[in-house]
Structure 1
Amino acid sequence: MALITRRRALTTAGAALAGAVALPATQAVAGERRHRPRPLRRAHAHNDYEHPRPLLDALDHRFTSVEADIFLVGDQLLVAHDPVDLDPARTLESLYLDPLAARVRANHGSVHRGYRKPLQLLIDIKTEGSSTYLELDRHLKRYKHLFTTYAHGRVFPGPVTAVISGDRAARLPMEAQTVRRAFYDGRLTDLGSAAPASFIPLISDNWTNHFTWRGVGPFPDAERQKLHTIVRAAHARRQRVRFWATPDLPGPERDALWAELVAADVDHLNTDDLAGLEAFLDAHRSA
């Protein structure tokens, strides 16, 4: 009887010790989840493919939007900025589609683990838009469940949202589709048009075509008001806003302009400097 009682006491003590060890481990995991840096919802990697590790460098810096320029060569979609840089090994599949599909599988349905908002893949068409888009559409169809899809008037979110920019001739075949796995990148001239956000979810334009300010000195009041009006109009229609050709060299001018973009609630800040934008947005955490 005394032996049984002693065994029970040892078992109880062992369970208590195990619980004491397990509890901090559980708390550590929960703490890791709480303190894992969140993806940067405004961060857009312009010309992402020019980084040493296309896509992966941007994701490591917690970017939520990346841009790839494509050329149609035969039935291949090659990624490059200029025709002279074309390389048969650098395809849209090898640099973006296959890695994204693998990452989504590994992360149980998301590009950034635990972050359910889609990654934006901005695809800038450099060859004739209609034929390039039709080939791109065939490529996207091979990746089931990866892309946000428009089908018969409804949008079904996926881990990745493809948005088509570049040659404007892509618009016609896209508008004719009742089912598509991509959306159209509009311009400021499309703001307030009949095209809904289910077709044009993003309004992008060249900053220098609409604003004189480059971050030096105070932002002119009229231009600040214009910027805020643009963003409010787009957001009222559930469209996001991005400007390219903003200053991108480190320094006070870039920081001043980025700060105004954040204050106006511009959705995507365009950069080639991944670490620079990451540091800026971390310093403006409320953004």
Structure 2
Amino acid sequence: MLFRTSCPKVFGLLLALLCCKICLAQHPPLSNAFAHNDYQHKRPLFEAISNGYTSIEADVHLYKSRLIITHILPILHHKRTLEGLYLQPLAEHIQQNDGEVYRGYEKPITLMIDIKSDPNKTYELLKPMLEKYREFFCGYQNGVFQDGPVRIVLSGNKPYDALRNDPDRLAFIDEDLRKVGRDTTTNLFAMASCKFSNLLKWKGKGQLSQKDRDRLSAYCDEAHKAGAKVRLWSTPDNQKVWKELLQCGVDLINTDRLARLRDFLVKDGRAMVLED
């Protein structure tokens, strides 16, 4: 009787795991896809991976010596930690996937940690936590770069000096797009971001003016010279805007609409073709 009762449950669990594996293998990686506030989705991390996203964002607060995943009010979300929601599951996924996030995808994906609390105190706790998973991250050891399947990028309140002075750092900076060309420390920056409305007058309707187009393209060129990928945030979340941004040289499309952006990028021919 126990076997008969539990058998459907076991079958259901196996079916769910099989569906999850199929889902993760279903969509090719999308180098232009950035999952904004990923933790707000039903399946943080894995919903983005199942849709082929190669950049994923998580907001972090330092609260009672823990790194809590939330946009505001960490007291209400104290069980959702950076390690439990992202670092450990990501490491386990890579271990089970032959050392890669996506099989055959040789570039690192980006996990952006948007620091909402004091940058230096947060990094003081973050650094040993990243060290625990060093084998999975791009970074430096004794000043020598070492590649890995995941690149950690720090945004929000950024610990500039702590990273600059750390020969063993496992993190990079998301610089202000309007400032990135002024800094010669090119190995510190992996990304350059800016609020959409701080750079463009366009509201996402009608035509993007030539002046705005030239302005954005020039900033993208400067960032690319510094080795940084470009992202705009708080953008109108629609296909017309996505297309214009890509044409101007923006590398990462910031969205909350994972499936819709995925379909747009695949249709636009921007999905990665991987060899078996």
Q: What's the TM-score bracket when you normalise by the shorter of the two chains?
A: 0.7 to 0.9
2:258 matched residue in structure 1: 274
Contact 1:149 1:182 in 2 (8 A): yes
Q: Name the CA distance, whole Å, in 2 between partners of 1:190 and 1:118.
A: 25
- Which has the bigger relative contact order, CA under 8 A and spacing at least 6? 2
2:87 to 71, 88, 97: 97
Q: Compute the displacement of 1:199 (Å).
A: 0.4
Q: Compute the displacement of 1:134 (Å).
A: 1.3
2:168 matched residue in structure 1: 179
2:190 to 178, 201, 206: 201
2:221 to 211, 215, 232: 232
**Partner amino acid for 1:268?**
L
Contact 1:231 1:265 in 2 (8 A): yes
User: Which SS does the other structure have where 1:201 is aligned?
Assistant: strand
Q: Name the CA distance, whole Å, in 1 between partners of 2:55 and 2:208.
A: 27
2:274 matched residue in structure 1: none
**CA deviation digits over 1:144-168, x for unaligned, max 9?**
3011112344321111100001113
1:162 aligns with 2:146: no
Quickly say closer, same or farther: Cα 1:190–1:150, change in 2 above 3 A: farther
1:261 to 240, 245, 270: 245
2:120 matched residue in structure 1: 130
1:223 matched residue in structure 2: 212
User: Which SS does the other structure have where 2:110 is aligned?
Assistant: strand
**CA deviation digits over 1:199-254, x for unaligned, max 9?**
01210111111101122111100110111111112112221111101012xxxxx2
Backbone CA RMSD of aligned residues: 1.8
Q: Name the CA distance, whole Å, in 2 between partners of 1:72 and 1:84.
A: 8
Q: Compute the displacement of 1:130 (Å).
A: 0.7
Aligned residues: 248
**Partner amino acid for 1:164?**
L
Contact 1:41 1:64 in 2 (8 A): yes
Q: Compute the displacement of 1:183 (Å).
A: 0.6
1:151 matched residue in structure 2: 141
Q: Name the CA distance, whole Å, in 2 between partners of 1:144 and 1:239.
A: 22
> Which consecutive residues of structure 2, in runs of 5 or more, have no partner in the other structure?
1-24, 272-276
Contact 2:177 2:223 in 1 (8 A): no
Contact 1:49 1:79 in 2 (8 A): yes
Between stretches 77-86 and 269-278, larger displacement belongs to 77-86
Q: Name the CA distance, whole Å, in 1 between partners of 2:126 and 2:72.
A: 19
1:29 matched residue in structure 2: none
Q: Name the CA distance, whole Å, in 1 between partners of 2:54 and 2:186.
A: 19
User: Which SS does the other structure have where 2:187 is aligned?
Assistant: coil
1:210 matched residue in structure 2: 199
Q: Compute the displacement of 1:49 (Å).
A: 0.3
1:245 aligns with 2:213: no
Q: Name the CA distance, whole Å, in 1 between partners of 2:228 and 2:185.
A: 9
User: Which SS does the other structure have where 1:150 is aligned?
Assistant: strand
1:88 matched residue in structure 2: 78
Show structure 1 runs of 4+ deviating over 6 A: none
Q: Which has the larger radius of gyration?
A: 1
User: Which SS does the other structure have where 2:135 is aligned?
Assistant: coil
Contact 2:199 2:216 in 1 (8 A): no
1:68 matched residue in structure 2: 58
Q: Name the CA distance, whole Å, in 2 between partners of 1:235 and 1:42.
A: 14
